[in-house]
Amino acid sequence: MTRAAQLATLGDRQSAVGDACEIRRAFSGALAERLRLEPESFTRPGALARSMRRRGVSTDLALEVESFLRRLDEAAFSESGALPSEAARHAASLYAKVDDDALPRTQILARATLIVAGVLTIGAGTASAFDAVAARQAFDHGVSAYENHNFVTAREAFIAAVASDPAAPDAWADLGTASWAVADTARSVAAWQRALRIEPLASDARERVELVHALPWNSAGYVPPLPASWVFDLAAVLWLIAWGNAAYRASRGRSLGGRTLVTLGVAAGVIAVGGFALAERLSGKHLAVLRETASLSSDPGLGGERGATGIIGEVVRVTGRQGAWSRVVLDDGRDGWIETSTLVSLDTRDADQIRAN
């Protein structure tokens, strides 16, 4: 029995209430089966709605489904959560609307095939259910506090959200906005940078990143508007075309078409290498944001001669470290030493620095 059929059976029961975990499992399973969704679509705040919109579901319906799933999460995983009235029937009704609204299965399957190729290349992880619920609760708390103009509380809530799910672009973007509202410039720039590096096509995050400093293409903080997964997808497609063509020719007793095979294979390899380079750039390695306006020193020590001045919120390249000092390069090419404590690393491995006070 398919997950959609299981969900319909739950909705047809006389009680139409059922167990929260059972309803959530059937509902999310039916959506994943129909829309070809990855597990992380159900663990990150806002990810489900975005994934659904990309598959042709209207914005209003996608947001309604996301909101309903959050209520099911709270009922299933939180002691204080209450199961919505007639939850099973409502879940079945929402799924029917999604089924009618979404793209045909064949189109979704074609897109999913390309996405899987990219995911298999660069790997993927899934947050635990506990962390997902904690992230959503913290995110919702932050949104509520921000709407009430309690910006400090909102900032702390969004810090908790990204601590539970460091790969959630919405939480990073809102952390940046809340930090900006309380004049926490360095944290706001760092958080917006992290959001944009997770979703390079997000125009709103790109606009916010440039609020403090313009970022031309040769700037340290510039983020190419191209997801690395797309590059890997293209490389995978070319590779499949090359070997698919070779297999077809072989089945017809023809030569493998060595020149075409080599050309496509080399092109796929070059593009894949470019994908790894792009992924490393998006990771923020060797980049940092200045916490405050400070002059660079000629030597890694307090007695060094003062030189160029870096501005608060400026993204710099980190080229070396010595003790408590880091050597940085400004966008204009001038370099010098600065205390490491005045930097907020953009490296994904140093996410705690953006969250720390």
Contact 108, 102 (CB under 8 A): yes
Residue by residue, DSSP assigns 50-81 as HHHHHTT--HHHHHHHHHHHHHHHHHHH-TT-
Per-residue confidence at 352, pLDDT binned at 50, 70, 90?
A: low
Rg (CA), the chain: 24
**Cα distance between residue 112 and residue 320, in whole Å:** 41
Q: Would you state the structure tokens that stand for residue 142, as one six-digit string?
A: 């932050």
Residue by residue, DSSP assigns 305-324 as PEEEEEPTT-EEEEEEEETT
Tens digits of residue pLDDT in 217-247: 888 888 899 888 889 899 899 888 888 887 8
Report CA-CA distances (Å) from 256 to 61, 237, 268. Answer: 50, 18, 18
Phi/psi for 171 (5° steps) reads: -65, -40
Mean pLDDT of 85-101: 85
Q: Which of 50-54, 73-77, 317-321 has the lowest mean pLDDT?
A: 73-77
Contact 209, 221 (CB under 8 A): yes
pLDDT surpasses 60 at 122: no
> What is the CATH number that goes with domain 287-355?
2.30.30.40
Tens digits of residue pLDDT in 101-115: 888 877 666 555 544
**Cα distance between residue 258 and residue 280, in whole Å:** 33
Residue that has been written with the tokens 């919120």 in this structure: 313
Element (H, E) at 335: strand 335-339
Residue by residue, DSSP assigns 235-293 as HHHHHHHHHHHHHHHHHTT----HHHHHHHHHHHHHHHHHHHHHHHHHTTTTEEEESS-
**Cα distance between residue 199 and residue 137, in whole Å:** 22
Strand-pair category, 325-329 with 315-322: antiparallel
Closest residue by Cα to residue 205 from 228, 186, 219, 225: 225
pLDDT surpasses 60 at 31: yes
Element (H, E) at 87: helix 87-101
Q: Which CATH number fits domain 129-209: 2.60.40.10, 1.25.40.10, 1.20.1440.230, 1.20.140.10?
A: 1.25.40.10
Contact 72, 24 (CB under 8 A): yes
Tens digits of residue pLDDT in 239-289: 888 888 878 777 777 776 677 777 888 888 999 999 899 888 888 888 988
CB-count burial class (<10 Å; 0-12, 13-18, 19+) for 155: buried
pTM for the model: 0.59
Closest residue by Cα to residue 346 from 200, 217, 191, 185: 191
